[in-house]
Amino acid sequence: MKVLFVLLLVVVAISAKPQHPFSQILFKTNQLADDCKNPKDLGTNCQNWARNGFCTNCNWTCEQRRHYCERTCGFCHPDYKCNETCTTFPPMEAKSKVLTDEEIQMLNQ
């Protein structure tokens, strides 16, 4: 009986799939990579919104900005880091650069 019990424990231990501590992070990273294969904008006016600061406006969450203007805001670019922290000082008065279609295509690569 003891041998059968030990054999059962060995079979269960071998067949059990261990859960890696970072498996959820790895899954989300792979899912993000899949989402970025064909980035798109759901907002119909993303280029104008981007000119007006939508892509860096912390009054919108990163999730909202990504949802509406993923392509134009460059969310799938490997170096992109979304900022949700508002500054306490007024923004600098500078014209934001409008991305050309070629620049947007480069960001999508």
pLDDT, one tens digit per residue, over 22-53 is 444 444 444 444 567 788 899 889 999 999 98
Q: Is residue 68 part of a domain?
A: yes
Could you tell me the residue range of the domain that residue 103 belongs to? 39-87+97-109
* Separation of alpha carbons 101 and 53, rounded Å: 18
CB-CB neighbours of 92 under 10 Å: 5
Q: Is 72 helix (H, G, I), strand (E, B) or coil?
A: helix
Residue 98 has pLDDT above 50, yes or no: yes
Residue of 86 and 108 predicted with greater confidence: 108
Q: Is residue 9 part of a domain?
A: no
Please tell me the total count of domains within the chain. Answer: 1
